[in-house]
Chain A
Amino acid sequence: MTLRSVERAAVLLRLVAAQGGPIGVSDVAAALGVAKSSAHELLRTLQEVGFLDQDGGTGRYRLGEGARRLAQGPPDTNLLRSLATNCVDALAARSGESAYMGVLRGADVLVVHHVFRPDDSSQRVEVGERHPAHASAMGQVLLALDPAGQAVARTWVPVSLTRRTLIGAALSARLAAVRREQLACAVGERVPELAEIAVPLRGRGPSVVAAVALIGHSDRLTDARGRPRAALVAHVRTAASAISADLAGGL
C-alpha cells in the first residue's frame, strides 16, 4: 500500500461520513479524481475491513460499524460477558469443563467470564485474573489474530513459565499455526498440569474482539498423543460461532 492510497482512503472515509447517505462508485471516482476501477478497489478494501457497508439493493456504500467504533476503544468487558452468558453456560454444560472468555490487555489475557466445571467441586470465580498471553491458549489466539495482539507479539520478549512455555521462534511458529487453524491448544505452557483449547470471537466485521476457551486437566482435554480431543474442539467452535452471532447483535 502506498502512502497515496492511505491518503485516498482517508479522504474517501471523510467523504462518505460527510455525505449523510449512501454514495455510489461514480461519485467517489469523481470526487477523488481517480478511475472508477481504482475507486471500486478502494471501496471494496474498506468494506472488507469493516469501515464501509455496501447496500445490497443499490450497491452504494455507507459508513460501517468499524469506522464508527474507532474512537470508542475496545468493547466493554461486562457487556461482552452479558451477551455471551447463555452460550458460555452451554459450553461448560456440554463439555463438562470450565469455560472462559478473555480479552487482550497489554501482554496479558484478562479473564472476563468464567463458568465452573459442572462437577460441583470447590471452585472460585476467576474473572479479573490475568494470564500471560504467550503462555495461554486464549492469549495465543489474540496475539495471532487481534490486530493489537499482533503488534504486541512483534515487540515484546516473553519469558518461560513452565518447561513447556513457547518463546522465540517456537512461539512464532505456534502463532502462525493458530492463524491458519483459527484454534490454539496450549498444554502445560502456563500451568504444568493444565491444557487449554481456545478459538477467536468476532463481533460485527472480521476483527477478533475476544477468545473463548476450555481450561482443564490435560488428561481430560487431550488424548494420549497430547492433541486436543476432537469432541471438545467441536464444542468450543460451536459455542464460538453462537457467541459471535450474539456479539454481532449486541455490541
Chain B
Amino acid sequence: MSARYVVAIDQGTTSTRCIVFDHFGRFVSVAQREHRQWFPEPGWVEHDALEIWANVVRVVPAALAKAGIGPDDVAALGIANQRETAVLWDRHTGRPVARAVTWQDTRVAPLLAELAQRDPPRTFRERCGLPLSTYATAPRLTWLLRSSPALRQRAASADVLFGTMETWLTWQLTGGPQGGVHVTDVTNASRTMLMDLRTLDWDDELCAAFEVPRAMLPQIRPTATTHGRASTVLPGVVIGALMGDQQAALFGQACYSPGEAKCTYGTGAFLLLNTGDQPVASSHGLATTVAHQVGDEPAAYALEGSIAMTGSLVQWFRDGLSLVRTAPEIETLARTVNDNGGCYIVPAFSGLFAPHWRPDARGVITGLTSYVTRGHLARAVLEATAWQTVDVVEAMNADSGLRLNTLRVDGGMTSNLLLMQMISDRLDVPVERPMVHETVSLGVAYAAGLTVGLWPDLGVLRRSWHRGARWTPDMTAQTREQQRSGWRTALAQTIGPGFTPTAARPPGP
C-alpha cells in the first residue's frame, strides 16, 4: 500500500508533540513529551536542545505505534515550531554550545537601546517587518556571540551553526554531523529580524548591525518544499514543510486569501491576518511577517498582533484569586450573572502589547461597587480577552485597508462558548472554530502533504476545512458602544493621567 499518512511534529514551548493525520487531513493519533524549562537568572528562559531532540526521537515512533502504522506508510513529515528560539551547536559533534535561549527570554532588554542606535529602528522595521524587541532572535545572537570571542570565531568559520528549532531538528533528522541539512523556512526566518521581507534572503546590513556572521545562518527555503530526507527516526521520509507555529495555525485554518484571519487563544493570543502577496507595513504596532510560501510560488504575507494575557488571566483568576477550581468553570461562574455589573479588567500585568505597546502599563480593575460579585469579575475576565481581540483587529483593519468579515479561532479557550459569543458580539463579525483543534500540526501537515503531492493544491485543503461551531453577533450597536467606552476608560487608567489609548478605529465602509 502506498504511503497515505502525514506526520507533523509540533515543537512547542512546553512540549513536543507528534500528530499523525490521514490523507483526508483527519487526526489519527498523538504522542507528547514535555521538556524542562530552565530559569538560570531572572528573566532568562532556556531549553535543552538535546533533550528536545531526544523527545522527538521518542514521540514520533510512539505516535506511529498508536496509529498502527510504520515509516513506510508515511508520505511526508512537517515540522512546526516555537518561533524565535535560538540554538547554537557544533557542526562536528552535533552538540549545542549552550542551552537554547527561548523567545520568552528577556536578557537582551539592556542591549536594545544600543542596537537601536545602529540604525534608525524605522529602517530595521521596514526591512524585516518587526519592531526591535526582546522577542526577535537577532539580539539574542548578538548577546550570545558577545559572550565569547572564541564562539564568534567558530561561528564565522561555520564550525558553530545557528538555527531556530525547526532548523536544529531538520539538521539532526537528516544526518547531523554526517551531512545534516542546514535550512530554515521563510516564516521562521521572518521572525529573526535578519531577513529582508521582500528578497526573502538574509540582509547583510541587518546581519552587520546585529554582529551576526552569515556563515552560521541556515539557508532560507520556501515553507513547503523538499527540505531533505530523514536518515533517522523516519528513515527515507521526505521533510516536506517547516513552519513557525502561528503561521502553521493560519495555514491549518485555511486562511489562504487576503482578509482571512485566525486567532489562537492560549496563555496569550496570536492574531494573524493574511494580507496577500505584498508585505503591509504597520503604523499601529503590529508585526509584518511571512505567512507561507508554497514551492516556487510567491510568498504570502501576514500582519500579526499578539495579546500577552488571555488564558493566563483565567489562570490567575483560578490560582491567584481561587475563584474557580478549574479554568472551564469560569464560564459557569460568568453565567450566574447577565452582564459585567459595570466592572472591567485590563490585564496589563507586564505592560500592554499590540496595538498599544506600553511596557510601563499595569493592570487595573475598574467599576468596583458593592454590587459586583465574583460572577461579574468572571465576566470581566472573559470580556478582557474579547476587547483585546477587538483592539488588534481594528488596528489590522486600519493598516491593511481590509475589513475582517469572519474570525477563525482555535486553541484551548475555544471550548468556552460564552467567550466565543462575547468575541463575536464585540467584533460584530461571525466567529468560527474548525472541527480539527490541532491547527498548528494540521497546518504543517497540509504544507508537507502539498510538497509530496498527497493533496494537489490549496483549493483541496480549503474544502477539507470544516466548521465545528459558529457564533454570530447578538448585541445592539448601542450596547457595544457603551461597553467599548467602559473598556477604553479602563484602558486609559493602566497608564496614569494624561494617557489616551490610540487604538485604531476601523476604516469607513
B332's partner among A78, A93, A120 (CB-CB below 8 A) is A78
A interface SS class: helix
Q: Note all chain A residues with C-beta closer than 8 A to B329.
A: 76, 78-79
Indicate if the CB atoms of B328 and A125 lie closer than 8 Å. no
Q: Note all chain A residues with C-beta closer than 8 A to B26.
A: 90, 93-94
In this assembly, does A114 line the interface, its C-beta being within 8 Å of a C-beta of chain B?
yes
- Complex Cα gap A81–B326 (Å): 12
Residues 71-95 of A contacting B (Cβ, < 8 Å):
76-79, 81-83, 85-86, 89-90, 92-94
In this assembly, does B468 line the interface, its C-beta being within 8 Å of a C-beta of chain A?
yes
Residues 46-83 of A contacting B (Cβ, < 8 Å):
76-79, 81-83
Q: Given A92-B435, A93-B436 in contact, is the A118-B328 Cβ separation under 8 Å? A: no
Indicate if the CB atoms of B328 and A81 lie closer than 8 Å. yes
Inter-chain contact count A-B, CB under 8 Å?
69
B interface SS class: mixed
- Complex Cα gap A94–B26 (Å): 8
Residues 85-142 of B contacting A (Cβ, < 8 Å):
none
Closest-by-CB residue of A relative to B418 is A78
- Complex Cα gap A57–B433 (Å): 46
Indicate if the CB atoms of B332 and A77 lie closer than 8 Å. yes
B416's partner among A76, A78, A94, A115 (CB-CB below 8 A) is A78
Indicate if the CB atoms of A90 and B27 lie closer than 8 Å. yes
Indicate if the CB atoms of A76 and B332 lie closer than 8 Å. yes
Most-contacted residue by chain B among A76, A78, A93, A114 (CB, 10 A): A78
- Complex Cα gap A94–B469 (Å): 16
Q: Note all chain B residues with C-beta closer than 8 A to A93.
A: 26-27, 435-436, 466
Q: Note all chain A residues with C-beta closer than 8 A to B415.
A: 78, 81-82, 85
Indicate if the CB atoms of B469 and A114 lie closer than 8 Å. yes
Q: Given A94-B26, A125-B417 in contact, is the A89-B468 Cβ separation under 8 Å? A: yes
Indicate if the CB atoms of A89 and B437 lie closer than 8 Å. yes
The minimal Cβ–Cβ distance linking B496 to chain A, given in whole angstroms, is: 37
Closest-by-CB residue of B relative to A126 is B469
Indicate if the CB atoms of B467 and A116 lie closer than 8 Å. yes
Closest-by-CB residue of A relative to B25 is A93
In this assembly, does B277 line the interface, its C-beta being within 8 Å of a C-beta of chain A?
no
Indicate if the CB atoms of B328 and A116 lie closer than 8 Å. no
In this assembly, does B470 line the interface, its C-beta being within 8 Å of a C-beta of chain A?
yes
In this assembly, does B455 line the interface, its C-beta being within 8 Å of a C-beta of chain A?
no
Q: Note all chain B residues with C-beta closer than 8 A to A127.
A: 417
A125's partner among B327, B466, B470 (CB-CB below 8 A) is B470
Indicate if the CB atoms of B331 and A78 lie closer than 8 Å. yes
Q: Note all chain A residues with C-beta closer than 8 A to B328.
A: 76, 78-79, 81-83
Q: Given A93-B436, A94-B26 in contact, is the A116-B331 Cβ separation under 8 Å? A: no
Residues 420-439 of B contacting A (Cβ, < 8 Å):
435-437
Q: Note all chain A residues with C-beta closer than 8 A to B416.
A: 78, 82
In this assembly, does A163 line the interface, its C-beta being within 8 Å of a C-beta of chain B?
no
- Complex Cα gap A76–B326 (Å): 10
In this assembly, does A123 line the interface, its C-beta being within 8 Å of a C-beta of chain B?
yes
In this assembly, does A124 line the interface, its C-beta being within 8 Å of a C-beta of chain B?
yes
Residues 1-60 of B contacting A (Cβ, < 8 Å):
26-27
- Complex Cα gap A250–B27 (Å): 22
In this assembly, does B471 line the interface, its C-beta being within 8 Å of a C-beta of chain A?
yes
Most-contacted residue by chain A among B26, B415, B471 (CB, 10 A): B415
Most-contacted residue by chain B among A82, A86, A90, A127 (CB, 10 A): A82
Q: Note all chain B residues with C-beta closer than 8 A to A81.
A: 328, 415, 417
- Complex Cα gap A82–B329 (Å): 10
Residues 121-148 of A contacting B (Cβ, < 8 Å):
123-125, 127
The minimal Cβ–Cβ distance linking A185 to chain B, given in whole angstroms, is: 24
A85's partner among B331, B437, B466 (CB-CB below 8 A) is B437
- Complex Cα gap A124–B421 (Å): 12
Indicate if the CB atoms of A116 and B466 lie closer than 8 Å. yes
Indicate if the CB atoms of B332 and A125 lie closer than 8 Å. no
- Complex Cα gap A86–B471 (Å): 19
The minimal Cβ–Cβ distance linking A112 to chain B, given in whole angstroms, is: 10
Indicate if the CB atoms of A118 and B435 lie closer than 8 Å. yes
Residues 311-345 of B contacting A (Cβ, < 8 Å):
326-329, 331-332
Closest-by-CB residue of A relative to B334 is A78
The minimal Cβ–Cβ distance linking B445 to chain A, given in whole angstroms, is: 14
Indicate if the CB atoms of B468 and A115 lie closer than 8 Å. yes
The minimal Cβ–Cβ distance linking A203 to chain B, given in whole angstroms, is: 14
Indicate if the CB atoms of A116 and B27 lie closer than 8 Å. no
Q: Note all chain B residues with C-beta closer than 8 A to A116.
A: 435, 466-470
- Complex Cα gap A90–B442 (Å): 14
- Complex Cα gap A119–B328 (Å): 28
- Complex Cα gap A77–B332 (Å): 8
Closest-by-CB residue of B relative to A72 is B325
Indicate if the CB atoms of A124 and B417 lie closer than 8 Å. no
A120's partner among B412, B467, B471 (CB-CB below 8 A) is B467
The minimal Cβ–Cβ distance linking A114 to chain B, given in whole angstroms, is: 7
Closest-by-CB residue of B relative to A112 is B417
Residues 358-380 of B contacting A (Cβ, < 8 Å):
none
- Complex Cα gap A83–B332 (Å): 15
Closest-by-CB residue of A relative to B463 is A120
Closest-by-CB residue of B relative to A96 is B466
The minimal Cβ–Cβ distance linking A129 to chain B, given in whole angstroms, is: 13
Which B residues form the contact surface with A (CB < 8 A)?
26-27, 326-329, 331-332, 412, 415-417, 435-437, 466-471
Interface pairs (12), CB distance under 8 Å = A76-B332, A78-B328, A82-B326, A82-B328, A89-B468, A94-B26, A116-B435, A116-B466, A116-B470, A123-B467, A125-B471, A250-B326
Which 6 A-B pairs give the minimum distances between C-beta atoms?
A: A118-B466, A82-B328, A78-B331, A78-B328, A79-B328, A82-B415
Task: List 18 additional A-B contacts (Cβ < 8 Å) besides A89-B436, A123-B467.
Answer: A76-B329, A78-B416, A79-B329, A81-B415, A83-B328, A85-B415, A85-B437, A86-B27, A86-B437, A89-B27, A93-B436, A114-B469, A115-B468, A116-B435, A118-B466, A118-B467, A123-B470, A125-B471
